Amino acid sequence: MGSVSTSCVVAVTTLLLLLLALGASGQLQVGFYSKSCPSAESTVASVVRGFSDSDSAILPALLRLQFHDCFVRGCDASVLIKGGNNNAEVDNAKHQGLRGLDVIDSAKAQLESQCPGVVSCADIVVLAARDAVAFTGGASFDVPTGRRDGKVSNMRDGDVLPDVHDSAQVLRSKFAASGLDDKDLVLLSSAHTVGTTACFFMQDRLYKYPLPGGGLGSDPSIPAGFLAELKSRCAPGDFNTRVPLDRGSERLFDTSILRNIRNGYAVIASDAALYNDTSTVDVVDSYSGLLSTIFGPYFRQDFAESMVKMGSIGVVTGTNGEVRKLCGKFN
Protein backbone atom coordinates (compact mmCIF):
# COMPACT_ATOMS: atom_id res chain seq x y z
CA MET A 1 0.00 0.00 0.00
CA GLY A 2 2.81 2.36 0.88
CA SER A 3 4.42 1.95 -2.53
CA VAL A 4 1.07 2.52 -4.25
CA SER A 5 0.45 5.68 -2.22
CA THR A 6 3.90 6.95 -3.04
CA SER A 7 3.30 6.28 -6.74
CA CYS A 8 0.01 8.16 -6.59
CA VAL A 9 1.65 11.12 -4.88
CA VAL A 10 4.39 11.18 -7.51
CA ALA A 11 1.83 10.98 -10.32
CA VAL A 12 -0.31 13.76 -8.85
CA THR A 13 2.75 15.92 -8.20
CA THR A 14 3.95 15.39 -11.77
CA LEU A 15 0.51 16.31 -13.11
CA LEU A 16 0.41 19.48 -11.01
CA LEU A 17 3.85 20.50 -12.21
CA LEU A 18 2.79 19.91 -15.79
CA LEU A 19 -0.33 22.04 -15.34
CA LEU A 20 1.72 24.79 -13.72
CA ALA A 21 4.18 24.67 -16.61
CA LEU A 22 1.36 24.95 -19.12
CA GLY A 23 -0.12 27.84 -17.20
CA ALA A 24 3.22 29.60 -17.10
CA SER A 25 3.82 29.29 -20.83
CA GLY A 26 0.20 30.04 -21.75
CA GLN A 27 -1.54 29.94 -25.08
CA LEU A 28 -3.31 32.51 -27.19
CA GLN A 29 -6.92 31.66 -27.90
CA VAL A 30 -9.93 33.24 -29.55
CA GLY A 31 -12.31 34.51 -26.89
CA PHE A 32 -9.69 34.51 -24.13
CA TYR A 33 -11.68 37.18 -22.23
CA SER A 34 -15.12 35.65 -22.79
CA LYS A 35 -15.52 34.94 -19.06
CA SER A 36 -13.03 37.26 -17.37
CA CYS A 37 -14.10 40.38 -19.31
CA PRO A 38 -16.93 39.57 -21.77
CA SER A 39 -17.15 43.12 -23.15
CA ALA A 40 -13.42 43.43 -23.89
CA GLU A 41 -13.57 43.11 -27.68
CA SER A 42 -16.75 45.14 -28.13
CA THR A 43 -15.33 47.92 -25.95
CA VAL A 44 -12.19 48.17 -28.06
CA ALA A 45 -14.28 48.21 -31.25
CA SER A 46 -16.50 50.96 -29.84
CA VAL A 47 -13.51 53.12 -28.92
CA VAL A 48 -11.91 52.64 -32.34
CA ARG A 49 -15.19 53.52 -34.04
CA GLY A 50 -15.56 56.63 -31.90
CA PHE A 51 -12.10 57.93 -32.75
CA SER A 52 -12.52 57.13 -36.45
CA ASP A 53 -15.78 59.09 -36.62
CA SER A 54 -13.81 62.29 -36.07
CA ASP A 55 -10.53 61.19 -37.68
CA SER A 56 -10.68 58.52 -40.39
CA ALA A 57 -6.88 58.61 -40.69
CA ILE A 58 -6.63 56.94 -37.29
CA LEU A 59 -7.61 53.58 -38.79
CA PRO A 60 -4.47 53.04 -40.92
CA ALA A 61 -2.48 54.48 -38.02
CA LEU A 62 -3.75 51.67 -35.78
CA LEU A 63 -2.68 49.11 -38.37
CA ARG A 64 0.78 50.65 -38.40
CA LEU A 65 0.85 50.64 -34.61
CA GLN A 66 0.45 46.86 -34.44
CA PHE A 67 3.17 46.39 -37.05
CA HIS A 68 5.56 48.62 -35.11
CA ASP A 69 4.83 46.87 -31.84
CA CYS A 70 5.05 43.28 -33.07
CA PHE A 71 8.25 43.68 -35.08
CA VAL A 72 10.17 44.90 -32.04
CA ARG A 73 10.48 42.38 -29.21
CA GLY A 74 7.19 40.80 -30.33
CA CYS A 75 3.60 41.86 -29.65
CA ASP A 76 4.13 42.98 -26.05
CA ALA A 77 3.01 46.64 -26.09
CA SER A 78 6.63 47.77 -25.56
CA VAL A 79 6.12 50.56 -28.10
CA LEU A 80 3.48 52.15 -25.85
CA ILE A 81 5.89 52.90 -23.01
CA LYS A 82 6.52 56.64 -22.72
CA GLY A 83 10.17 57.32 -21.96
CA GLY A 84 11.23 60.27 -19.88
CA ASN A 85 14.80 60.49 -21.19
CA ASN A 86 14.33 59.62 -24.87
CA ASN A 87 15.39 56.05 -24.17
CA ALA A 88 12.11 54.16 -24.66
CA GLU A 89 11.38 52.14 -27.76
CA VAL A 90 8.93 54.74 -29.08
CA ASP A 91 11.74 57.32 -29.15
CA ASN A 92 13.51 55.48 -31.98
CA ALA A 93 13.43 57.52 -35.21
CA LYS A 94 11.90 54.55 -37.06
CA HIS A 95 8.71 55.11 -35.05
CA GLN A 96 8.46 58.66 -36.41
CA GLY A 97 4.86 59.75 -36.89
CA LEU A 98 3.44 56.83 -34.93
CA ARG A 99 -0.17 57.52 -33.95
CA GLY A 100 -3.01 55.77 -32.18
CA LEU A 101 -1.51 55.51 -28.71
CA ASP A 102 -4.33 57.70 -27.38
CA VAL A 103 -6.86 55.24 -28.80
CA ILE A 104 -5.20 52.39 -26.91
CA ASP A 105 -5.07 54.48 -23.72
CA SER A 106 -8.77 55.32 -24.02
CA ALA A 107 -9.77 51.69 -24.53
CA LYS A 108 -7.55 50.64 -21.62
CA ALA A 109 -9.17 53.22 -19.30
CA GLN A 110 -12.64 51.90 -20.11
CA LEU A 111 -11.58 48.29 -19.66
CA GLU A 112 -9.89 49.03 -16.35
CA SER A 113 -13.17 50.43 -15.06
CA GLN A 114 -15.02 47.31 -16.24
CA CYS A 115 -12.46 44.58 -15.54
CA PRO A 116 -9.51 45.90 -13.52
CA GLY A 117 -6.18 44.24 -14.24
CA VAL A 118 -7.54 41.79 -16.79
CA VAL A 119 -7.07 42.98 -20.40
CA SER A 120 -3.51 43.62 -21.54
CA CYS A 121 -2.41 46.60 -23.59
CA ALA A 122 -0.77 44.17 -26.05
CA ASP A 123 -4.16 42.59 -26.77
CA ILE A 124 -5.81 45.99 -27.14
CA VAL A 125 -3.27 46.92 -29.84
CA VAL A 126 -4.03 43.75 -31.81
CA LEU A 127 -7.81 44.07 -31.39
CA ALA A 128 -7.74 47.72 -32.46
CA ALA A 129 -5.77 46.86 -35.61
CA ARG A 130 -8.23 44.07 -36.40
CA ASP A 131 -11.14 46.52 -36.06
CA ALA A 132 -9.34 49.10 -38.19
CA VAL A 133 -9.17 46.58 -41.04
CA ALA A 134 -12.91 45.87 -40.82
CA PHE A 135 -13.85 49.55 -40.55
CA THR A 136 -11.97 50.37 -43.78
CA GLY A 137 -13.75 47.65 -45.76
CA GLY A 138 -11.41 44.76 -45.09
CA ALA A 139 -12.28 41.37 -43.69
CA SER A 140 -13.79 40.85 -40.26
CA PHE A 141 -11.83 38.12 -38.54
CA ASP A 142 -11.12 36.60 -35.15
CA VAL A 143 -7.79 37.16 -33.43
CA PRO A 144 -6.57 35.03 -30.56
CA THR A 145 -5.90 36.92 -27.34
CA GLY A 146 -4.19 36.21 -24.04
CA ARG A 147 -1.03 38.29 -24.50
CA ARG A 148 0.56 39.92 -21.52
CA ASP A 149 2.53 43.15 -21.52
CA GLY A 150 6.30 43.10 -21.64
CA LYS A 151 8.57 44.70 -19.07
CA VAL A 152 11.28 46.06 -21.38
CA SER A 153 11.31 49.06 -23.73
CA ASN A 154 14.62 50.26 -25.18
CA MET A 155 15.08 52.83 -27.92
CA ARG A 156 17.73 50.86 -29.83
CA ASP A 157 15.48 47.81 -30.09
CA GLY A 158 13.52 49.70 -32.75
CA ASP A 159 16.49 49.53 -35.13
CA VAL A 160 15.26 46.16 -36.40
CA LEU A 161 12.16 47.65 -38.03
CA PRO A 162 11.88 47.44 -41.82
CA ASP A 163 12.77 50.69 -43.52
CA VAL A 164 11.32 52.47 -46.54
CA HIS A 165 14.75 52.29 -48.23
CA ASP A 166 15.23 48.54 -47.70
CA SER A 167 15.68 46.31 -50.73
CA ALA A 168 13.37 43.33 -51.19
CA GLN A 169 16.17 41.06 -50.00
CA VAL A 170 16.59 43.03 -46.78
CA LEU A 171 12.83 43.16 -46.25
CA ARG A 172 12.58 39.41 -46.75
CA SER A 173 15.36 38.88 -44.23
CA LYS A 174 13.73 41.08 -41.60
CA PHE A 175 10.36 39.39 -42.05
CA ALA A 176 11.97 35.95 -41.91
CA ALA A 177 13.63 36.89 -38.61
CA SER A 178 10.11 37.35 -37.21
CA GLY A 179 8.87 34.05 -38.63
CA LEU A 180 7.10 35.60 -41.62
CA ASP A 181 7.58 34.47 -45.21
CA ASP A 182 7.51 36.21 -48.62
CA LYS A 183 3.74 35.86 -48.86
CA ASP A 184 3.35 37.57 -45.48
CA LEU A 185 5.69 40.34 -46.64
CA VAL A 186 3.51 41.13 -49.65
CA LEU A 187 0.23 40.80 -47.76
CA LEU A 188 1.24 42.92 -44.78
CA SER A 189 2.74 45.54 -47.08
CA SER A 190 -0.70 45.61 -48.69
CA ALA A 191 -1.93 47.36 -45.56
CA HIS A 192 -0.70 50.43 -47.46
CA THR A 193 -3.98 50.16 -49.38
CA VAL A 194 -5.26 52.63 -46.77
CA GLY A 195 -3.60 55.73 -45.39
CA THR A 196 -0.97 58.24 -46.38
CA THR A 197 2.74 58.82 -46.03
CA ALA A 198 4.75 61.97 -45.45
CA CYS A 199 6.86 63.42 -48.24
CA PHE A 200 9.80 62.90 -45.89
CA PHE A 201 9.79 59.21 -46.84
CA MET A 202 9.88 60.01 -50.58
CA GLN A 203 12.55 62.71 -50.79
CA ASP A 204 15.42 60.34 -51.55
CA ARG A 205 13.44 58.46 -54.19
CA LEU A 206 12.37 61.67 -55.92
CA TYR A 207 15.49 63.81 -55.66
CA LYS A 208 18.47 61.92 -54.23
CA TYR A 209 18.31 58.54 -55.93
CA PRO A 210 21.80 57.22 -56.95
CA LEU A 211 21.83 57.11 -60.76
CA PRO A 212 23.65 54.41 -62.77
CA GLY A 213 25.95 56.93 -64.44
CA GLY A 214 26.73 58.72 -61.20
CA GLY A 215 25.11 61.62 -59.44
CA LEU A 216 21.69 61.89 -57.85
CA GLY A 217 18.25 62.29 -59.37
CA SER A 218 14.88 60.54 -59.53
CA ASP A 219 14.30 56.80 -59.39
CA PRO A 220 14.28 55.88 -63.12
CA SER A 221 11.76 53.09 -62.51
CA ILE A 222 8.98 55.62 -61.77
CA PRO A 223 6.83 56.26 -64.89
CA ALA A 224 7.31 59.83 -66.16
CA GLY A 225 3.72 60.92 -65.61
CA PHE A 226 3.60 59.49 -62.10
CA LEU A 227 6.98 61.05 -61.27
CA ALA A 228 5.66 64.47 -62.28
CA GLU A 229 2.58 63.86 -60.14
CA LEU A 230 4.64 62.93 -57.09
CA LYS A 231 7.00 65.88 -57.53
CA SER A 232 4.04 68.25 -57.77
CA ARG A 233 2.90 67.00 -54.37
CA CYS A 234 6.33 66.74 -52.73
CA ALA A 235 8.70 69.59 -53.52
CA PRO A 236 12.39 69.32 -52.59
CA GLY A 237 12.73 69.72 -48.84
CA ASP A 238 9.00 69.21 -48.19
CA PHE A 239 8.87 66.70 -45.37
CA ASN A 240 5.34 67.16 -44.02
CA THR A 241 2.84 67.02 -46.90
CA ARG A 242 0.84 63.77 -46.85
CA VAL A 243 0.40 61.64 -49.98
CA PRO A 244 -1.90 58.60 -50.36
CA LEU A 245 0.04 55.34 -50.36
CA ASP A 246 -2.53 53.71 -52.64
CA ARG A 247 -3.04 56.03 -55.60
CA GLY A 248 -6.75 56.42 -56.30
CA SER A 249 -8.01 54.16 -53.51
CA GLU A 250 -6.53 55.33 -50.23
CA ARG A 251 -9.73 55.02 -48.17
CA LEU A 252 -10.81 51.51 -49.17
CA PHE A 253 -9.19 48.25 -48.13
CA ASP A 254 -8.73 46.43 -51.45
CA THR A 255 -6.11 45.03 -53.84
CA SER A 256 -5.62 48.33 -55.64
CA ILE A 257 -2.27 48.77 -53.88
CA LEU A 258 -0.97 45.58 -55.49
CA ARG A 259 -2.13 46.60 -58.95
CA ASN A 260 -0.42 49.93 -58.45
CA ILE A 261 2.79 48.18 -57.41
CA ARG A 262 2.58 45.92 -60.47
CA ASN A 263 2.00 48.88 -62.81
CA GLY A 264 4.81 51.04 -61.42
CA TYR A 265 2.67 53.32 -59.26
CA ALA A 266 4.12 52.39 -55.88
CA VAL A 267 4.58 55.56 -53.86
CA ILE A 268 7.36 54.45 -51.52
CA ALA A 269 10.52 52.57 -52.45
CA SER A 270 9.90 49.54 -50.21
CA ASP A 271 6.57 48.87 -51.95
CA ALA A 272 8.16 49.25 -55.38
CA ALA A 273 10.87 46.78 -54.34
CA LEU A 274 8.28 44.02 -54.06
CA TYR A 275 7.95 43.94 -57.86
CA ASN A 276 11.70 43.92 -58.43
CA ASP A 277 12.43 40.61 -56.75
CA THR A 278 11.68 37.17 -58.15
CA SER A 279 10.61 35.91 -54.72
CA THR A 280 7.82 38.47 -54.31
CA VAL A 281 6.76 39.44 -57.82
CA ASP A 282 4.70 36.28 -58.29
CA VAL A 283 2.92 36.89 -55.00
CA VAL A 284 2.02 40.42 -56.08
CA ASP A 285 0.74 39.12 -59.42
CA SER A 286 -1.30 36.35 -57.79
CA TYR A 287 -3.44 38.85 -55.87
CA SER A 288 -3.57 41.70 -58.38
CA GLY A 289 -5.09 39.70 -61.25
CA LEU A 290 -8.78 40.17 -62.04
CA LEU A 291 -9.59 36.46 -61.66
CA SER A 292 -8.09 36.06 -58.19
CA THR A 293 -11.35 37.16 -56.56
CA ILE A 294 -13.06 34.18 -58.21
CA PHE A 295 -10.43 31.45 -58.30
CA GLY A 296 -8.08 32.64 -55.58
CA PRO A 297 -5.81 33.20 -53.90
CA TYR A 298 -8.22 35.20 -51.78
CA PHE A 299 -6.66 38.45 -50.63
CA ARG A 300 -9.01 39.30 -47.77
CA GLN A 301 -8.77 35.86 -46.19
CA ASP A 302 -5.01 35.58 -46.64
CA PHE A 303 -4.41 39.09 -45.30
CA ALA A 304 -6.36 38.21 -42.16
CA GLU A 305 -4.25 35.07 -41.72
CA SER A 306 -1.04 37.09 -42.03
CA MET A 307 -2.33 39.58 -39.46
CA VAL A 308 -3.02 36.75 -37.02
CA LYS A 309 0.43 35.32 -37.75
CA MET A 310 2.10 38.68 -37.14
CA GLY A 311 0.08 39.07 -33.94
CA SER A 312 1.67 35.90 -32.58
CA ILE A 313 5.29 37.10 -32.87
CA GLY A 314 7.18 36.82 -29.59
CA VAL A 315 4.07 36.97 -27.41
CA VAL A 316 4.33 36.99 -23.63
CA THR A 317 1.67 34.75 -22.06
CA GLY A 318 0.71 32.83 -18.95
CA THR A 319 2.40 34.06 -15.78
CA ASN A 320 5.11 35.97 -17.66
CA GLY A 321 5.03 39.71 -18.20
CA GLU A 322 2.28 41.77 -16.60
CA VAL A 323 -1.07 43.41 -17.29
CA ARG A 324 -0.35 47.12 -17.05
CA LYS A 325 -2.71 49.48 -15.30
CA LEU A 326 -1.65 52.25 -17.69
CA CYS A 327 -0.36 51.35 -21.15
CA GLY A 328 2.29 54.06 -21.13
CA LYS A 329 4.13 52.87 -18.02
CA PHE A 330 5.19 49.65 -16.34
CA ASN A 331 3.36 48.66 -13.16
- CATH number of the domain where residue 61 is located: 1.10.520.10
Check residue 26 and give its pLDDT.
60
Q: Could you read off the pLDDT of 4-20 as tens digits, one per residue?
A: 444 444 344 433 333 33
Under 8 Å between Cβ of 74 and 316: yes
| Active-site entry in 68, 95, 165, 192 | 68
Say whether both 177 and 290 belong to one domain.
yes
pLDDT for 288: 84
In the residue annotation, 68 being an active-site residue is answered as: yes
Q: Which of 160, 181, 196 is the last residue of a domain?
A: 160
Claim to verify: residue 80 and residue 126 sit in the same structural domain: yes
Length of the chain as a residue count: 331
In the chain, the DSSP E strands lie at 196-198, 209-210, 216-217, 242-244
Asked whether the beta carbons of 138 and 114 are under 8 A apart, the reply is: no
Mean pLDDT of the chain: 91
pLDDT tens per residue across span 211-224: 988 899 999 999 99
Domain extent, residue 56, equals 40-160
Is residue 276 situated within a structural domain?
yes
Burial class from Cβ neighbours inside 10 Å (0-12, 13-18, 19+) for residue 36 reads: exposed
- Least confident piece of the model among 6-20, 23-37, 58-72, 73-87: 6-20
**Percent of the chain having pLDDT more than 70?**
91
Chain centroid to Cα 123, Å, comes to 13
User: Is 331 within the bounds of a domain?
Assistant: no
Of 132, 160, 188, which residue sits at a domain end? Answer: 160
Name the more confident of 303 and 296.
303
Residue 9 confidence (pLDDT):
41
Tell me whether residue 118 is in a domain: yes
Q: Tell which wins on pLDDT, 83 or 81.
A: 81
Instruction: Write out pLDDT tens, residues 162-211.
Output: 999 999 999 999 999 999 999 999 999 999 999 999 999 999 999 999 99
Domain with 287 in it: what CATH number? 1.10.420.10
Instruction: Answer yes or no: is 239 within a domain.
Output: yes
Whether residue 34 is contained in a domain is answered as: no
Last residue of a domain, one of 160, 194, 217: 160
* The pLDDT of residue 272 is above 90: yes
User: What separation in angstroms does the CA of 194 have from each of 10, 118, 154, 182, 229?
Assistant: 58, 32, 29, 21, 19
pLDDT at 2 over 90: no
The string of pLDDT tens digits covering residues 93-143 is 999 889 999 999 999 999 999 999 999 999 999 999 999 999 999 999 999
